[in-house]
Amino acid sequence: MEKQKNSSEKLFIRLPVAAGSYYLGNKSVLSKQIDEFLAQVKDISIEGEPKILIVPHAGYAFSGQIAASAFKLLEGKNFKTVILIGPSHTDWFMGSSVDSQGIWQTPLGDIEIDADLAKKIISEHKNIFNRPQSHQKEHCLEVCLPFLQKTLKDFKIVPIIVGQSNKQSREALVYALSKYIDNQTLIVISSDLSHYPNYEIANMADHKVIDAILTGKSENLTNVIQDLMSQSLPGLDTCACGEEAIHIGLLLSEIMQINDIKFLDYTNSGDLPAGRQGITGDHSRVVGYASIVFSKDEQKGLANNERQMLLQIARQSIENYLENKKIPEFKDVLPALKQPQGAFVTLTRNHQLRGCIGRIIEEKQPLYQVVSKMAVSAAVDDNRFSSVSLNEMKNINIEISVLSPIKKIKNPIQEIEIGKHGVIVQQGSRSGVFLPQVATENSWGLEEFMGQLCQQKAGLSWDAWKGDGIDIYVFSAEVFSE
């Protein structure tokens, strides 16, 4: 079905396939039902803003109340884009299918796909593509939409169905998404839990899976599910039908540096009263449902003891390397410093630059290891300066810049905030980067900052940043020193 957008463009409309079965097909009755679900959710306190939700996708009679406990957290929020990720129940393929244009319709109205973002994600890797048949009859993302329509305003969606997956295709989607997520982006992961053990086995298996998710580690989820499946528990076909989608969420949460993961609610079909919309009350064959939220306080940086530990690690790494050519190993590192994160280390002597080297993004190594290695590199590998000597270290001041994930921008004049944003420019093989503090230290406005970045750091023309064919990324930094 097509809908006229303007005089020259038509949008394809995906009609609802789950209305009347998974959820009610009448607009007013459906709206009232969701209101009732939301009203029954107890007050939940989370750290910062919700970034990733894991919600079930069964019929509302089975899992609607559990889903509501997550969607309730969105009331009053201002998300502009919702990326929905779920498993395929109707199509068999390898990779990730992104619906890239048109409108998804529910009884509560139309939701437009963020076509520009969807196409950018698809362009990132051959294992990410638009496969229309994977979305046509699939219910797992559609059942989330009425809840979103009742809790958010003025948002677009990017629907993604994950098929069969391997390490390469999983990482491809994670990396592609991480480039475009910002503070107005919400990730919704759609997955039920155990299928179809008895009531007791479901409770045991589901809570082990939930506990694994709460660690924030994809490998822990893999290990728990492999262990459960190896036991050949009666009736247990799967521990989570959206396991791959959950892995995507966990890997994204590491890149996004999310530490606060909270269990919200759980039930299984055996808990529900018999006779309610076809529910049998059968305890011999059940399905599990849970909701979980990943949240982050964007204003919250490292605690003082975490900053001090990083500074100690940086100094000890340099001194140890200068003395015996070895970078020490560090034990008893604070948990927040074990998250993968980019960082720069800057060395000064008498307020004059003595070395500065860093990594913009580090998806595999924890922050403390990045700081340790970059500190040594700043001391001995910065080709603008001679190597720092061990005797010199008593006069060296160490500054660390812990970086946020990078974000690609379209309009640098509107989107770059001087003093807040570091910037990367890239054109072909040429690239350059300035940390946020470079602008303030030199009293530069945007024109000078970007001109110097292009000319001095990337070897491009002064005005290259204003033209086509150049990629520009921004990031923020938490800066502290001895």
Residues 180 and 259 in one domain: yes
Looking at 296, 320, 353, which one is the last position of a domain? 296
**DSSP-derived secondary structure letter, 43:** P
Q: What are phi and psi of 344, to 5 degrees?
A: -115, 145
**DSSP-derived secondary structure letter, 239:** S
Q: Which pLDDT belongs to residue 341?
A: 83
pLDDT at 85 over 80: yes
Query: In 3-state terms, what secondary structure has residue 307?
Result: helix
Residues 341 and 199 in one domain: no
Residues 243 and 391 in one domain: no
Q: Nearest to residue 52, comparing CAs of 335, 223, 248?
A: 248
Q: Which pLDDT belongs to residue 317?
A: 97
- Measured CA to CA, the distance from residue 128 to residue 96 in angstroms comes to 5
In terms of residue numbers, what domain contains 73?
2-296
Residues 99 and 22 in one domain: yes
Helices (DSSP H) in 52-166: which residue ranges?
Answer: 60-71, 115-123, 133-136, 145-151
Q: Which pLDDT belongs to residue 241?
A: 97
Q: Which pLDDT belongs to residue 9?
A: 53
Residues 118 and 46 in one domain: yes
What CATH number did the domain enclosing 255 receive? 3.40.830.10
Looking at 296, 319, 340, which one is the last position of a domain? 296
Q: Which pLDDT belongs to residue 1?
A: 58
CB-count exposure of residue 46 (10 Å: 0-12, 13-18, 19+)? middle
Q: Averaged over 62-69, what is the pLDDT?
A: 96
Counting DSSP H helices and E strands in the chain, the numbers are 14, 19
Q: Which pLDDT belongs to residue 2?
A: 54
Helices (DSSP H) in 256-328: which residue ranges?
Answer: 304-324
Q: Which pLDDT belongs to residue 357?
A: 93
Residues 374 and 443 in one domain: no
pLDDT, tens digit (0-9, with 9 covering 90-100), for 99-118: 999 999 999 999 999 999 99
Among 117-121, 135-139, 281-285, 389-393, the range scoring the smallest mean pLDDT is: 281-285
Whether the CB-CB separation of 48 and 295 falls below 8 Å is answered with yes
Residues 219 and 258 in one domain: yes
Please state the pTM of the whole predicted model.
0.65
CA 56, 121, 114: angle at the middle one, nearest 5?
70
Strands 343-349 and 352-359: antiparallel
User: What is the chain's mean pLDDT, rounded?
Assistant: 91
DSSP sequence for 361-397: --SSSBHHHHHHHHHHHHHHT-TTSPPPPTGGGGGEE
The percentage of the chain sitting over the pLDDT mark of 90, rounded to a whole number, equals: 74
Cis-peptide into 22, omega within 30 deg: no
Confidence bin at 300 (pLDDT 50/70/90): low
Q: State the DSSP H helix or E strand holding residue 348, giving kind and residue range, or none if neither.
A: strand 343-349
Helices (DSSP H) in 86-188: which residue ranges?
Answer: 115-123, 133-136, 145-151, 167-178
pLDDT, tens digit (0-9, with 9 covering 90-100), for 153-179: 999 999 999 999 888 889 999 989 988
Q: Which pLDDT belongs to residue 400?
A: 95
pLDDT, tens digit (0-9, with 9 covering 90-100), for 367-425: 999 999 999 999 999 999 999 999 999 999 999 999 887 888 989 998 999 988 999 99
Residues 392 and 435 in one domain: no
Q: Averaged over 336-347, what is the pLDDT?
A: 87
Number of structural domains (the chain) is: 3
Residues 371 and 253 in one domain: no
Q: Which pLDDT belongs to residue 4?
A: 52
Q: Averaged over 188-198, what is the pLDDT?
A: 97
What CATH number did the domain enclosing 428 receive? 3.30.1490.150
More confident residue, 467 or 107: 107
Among 12-16, 199-203, 216-220, 474-478, the range scoring the smallest mean pLDDT is: 474-478
Residues 212 and 339 in one domain: no
Residues 287 and 314 in one domain: no
Q: Which pLDDT belongs to residue 7?
A: 43
Query: In 3-state terms, what secondary structure has residue 45?
Result: coil
- Measured CA to CA, the distance from residue 209 to residue 224 in angstroms comes to 7
Confidence bin at 65 (pLDDT 50/70/90): very high
pLDDT at 181 over 90: no
pLDDT at 326 over 50: yes
- Strand positions, DSSP E, 173-297: 185-190, 260-268, 288-296
Q: Which pLDDT belongs to residue 405?
A: 78
Residues 318 and 395 in one domain: yes
Q: Averaged over 333-347, what is the pLDDT?
A: 86
pLDDT at 287 over 60: yes
Q: Which pLDDT belongs to residue 279?
A: 60
CB contact set of 6 (below 8 Å; sequence gap of 6+): none
Strands 156-162 and 81-87: parallel
